[in-house]
Structure 1
Amino acid sequence: MQSDDTMTATSSSHWLKGLIALVFIGALAAFFALGGQRYLTLDTLQQNRDALLDYTQAHFWKALLIAVTVYTAATAFSMPGGVLLSLTTGFLFGRWVGTGVIFISATIGAALVFLAARYLFADAMRAKLGGRLRDMSEGFARDGFHYLLFLRLVPLFPFWLVNLAPAFTGIRLSTYVAATGIGVIPGAFVFANLGQSLGRIRSTSQLVSTETLGALALLGVLALVPVLVKRFRTRKEGK
């Protein structure tokens, strides 16, 4: 029979989980209810580019703080418009400061959604994992840095999905943050650099060249080399 303290702790945990879930659901609902998707369009940004640039030049540190806060929140709540936010950041702050803003904000936001997903759903998900999925989860935990770095670098996987999925494995937070931070740098630089020509961009679908995508994919494949080498040595020693 559970003690009063145990029941109180369980009840508090349920309330906290409910509150966290409500915050995330409420933020997304508010974004769409207030028409956030209408503001995060290329046309809107280009129409207001001069006003945004004037404000940034007049209030640089305040604008920098706003940019970090907005980008972090957008990442943490998995809101759409990450590419446009990256372009705007590069346009307002330049390639180097812009890359730093994207790097810091995306890493913090990803860590927040990772922690929330792990706290809310990880136990339930792990309990439902079958043998094969459990083995995959354990493998991800062992070589999580390299696997996550691969997922971050290869531009095939949605950023929000890569933020969430590792939460259901045994990967450590420190490993997750390190791989995320390193993995977002190349893409952050690419989009911050492109953002400097925001006025000439006509479509976000044609922003990144095939060569750039190929280079990012190659970096992702290289991230898996240590895992492949380790497996090869293990198999060789086992013979």
Structure 2
Amino acid sequence: MNTQKILFLCALMGAIALAFIFIPPGTLSLASIKTHRLALLALVEQHPLQSAALYFAVYVLVSALSLPGAAILTLLGGALFSLWQGMLLVSFASTLGATLAMLASRYVLRDGVQRRFAKQMNTVNAGMARDGARYLFALRLMPLFPFFVVNLLMGLTGIGVRRYWWVSQLAMLPATLVFLNAGRELANVTSLHDILSLPLLFAFTLLGLLPLATRWLFSRYTPLIKK
């Protein structure tokens, strides 16, 4: 095992330990954040920079380790911060966490991910070969693969870290804004299904398909125009 893998493995184990210490089971639930919302709001008002930094760190940890609760954290961000503050915090924290998960898959978990998701990997490799970054954009928006699976599988592709970062950040923005806006009315949210309705999922799917459809149309009709 080379030095790079050892460093990533140590960082991964450290992150898991921190998660057990600072995010005990049941913390990231809708009921929990509703119960503690007023206390957390007071904390943010008293210590705005420290609260934002802590929120950012917890979000990165949850995203990087693929822990359940990212959607709940986004709602909490909408409840605690302004829309623009929440958007900056969640957008960069979720993208950083996703990138760290992708790198962990690439340098530490490659063999295990390859065995576990062999069938899905064939689909992803074909999509990346055909559409490149457009395929990643579509996966981020469409409910085809879970968020953490996309991170793991992309680690086994040849996509560069910089491209993975900006495509992921751009594609995750619509859902981020939807959840942040819902978090501003946290008291009225009884379930995540209240936010991700079928029409909204359909709209995200169409948005994800747009770059793929555009590429197909160009490849199909550009030769005809040139003739």
TM-score (norm 1): 0.79
- Report the CA distance shift for 1:139/1:162 in structure 2 as closer, same or farther (over 3 A): closer
Q: Say whether residues 1:176 and 2:168 are aligned partners.
A: no
Amino acid at match of 1:43: A
Which stretch of structure 1 is more off in the superposition, 93-102 or 179-188? 93-102
Other-structure match for 2:48: 60
2:25 aligned counterpart, secondary structure: helix
1:188 aligned counterpart, secondary structure: helix
C-alpha separation in 2, matches of 1:232 and 1:120: 41
Say whether the 8 Å CA contact 1:28–1:79 is kept in structure 2: no
C-alpha separation in 2, matches of 1:99 and 1:35: 22
C-alpha separation in 2, matches of 1:53 and 1:203: 21
Other-structure match for 2:188: 200
Say whether the 8 Å CA contact 1:31–1:37 is kept in structure 2: no
TM-score (norm 2): 0.83
Amino acid at match of 1:175: R
Which stretch of structure 1 is more off in the superposition, 227-236 or 17-26? 227-236
Other-structure match for 2:138: 150
Other-structure match for 1:103: 91
After superposition, residues 217-232 of structure 1 pair within 5 angstroms as 217-229=205-217, 231-232=219-220
How many residue pairs align between the two structures? 221
Gaps of at least 5 residues in structure 2 are none
Say whether the 8 Å CA contact 1:87–1:192 is kept in structure 2: yes
Which stretch of structure 1 is more off in the superposition, 67-76 or 114-123? 114-123
Amino acid at match of 1:159: F
The Cα RMSD (Å) is 3.1
Say whether the 8 Å CA contact 1:96–1:189 is kept in structure 2: no
Q: Say whether residues 1:73 and 2:61 are aligned partners.
A: yes
C-alpha separation in 2, matches of 1:48 and 1:135: 43
Per-residue deviation at 1:195? 0.4
C-alpha separation in 2, matches of 1:47 and 1:39: 11
Q: 1:41 pairs with 4, 21, 29, which one?
A: 29
Say whether the 8 Å CA contact 1:141–1:171 is kept in structure 2: no
Per-residue deviation at 1:151? 0.4
Gaps of at least 5 residues in structure 1 are 1-10
After superposition, residues 12-51 of structure 1 pair within 5 angstroms as 13=2, 16-18=4-6, 20-21=8-9, 23-25=11-13, 27-28=15-16, 31=19, 36-51=24-39
C-alpha separation in 1, matches of 2:196 and 2:111: 39
Say whether the 8 Å CA contact 2:95–2:168 is kept in structure 1: yes
Other-structure match for 1:115: 103
Other-structure match for 2:178: 190
Amino acid at match of 1:38: G
Q: How high is the sequence identity, in percent, across the aligned residues?
A: 33
Q: 1:160 pairs with 127, 148, 154, which one?
A: 148
- Report the CA distance shift for 1:135/1:183 in structure 2 as closer, same or farther (over 3 A): closer
Per-residue deviation at 1:108? 0.9
Say whether the 8 Å CA contact 2:125–2:157 is kept in structure 1: yes
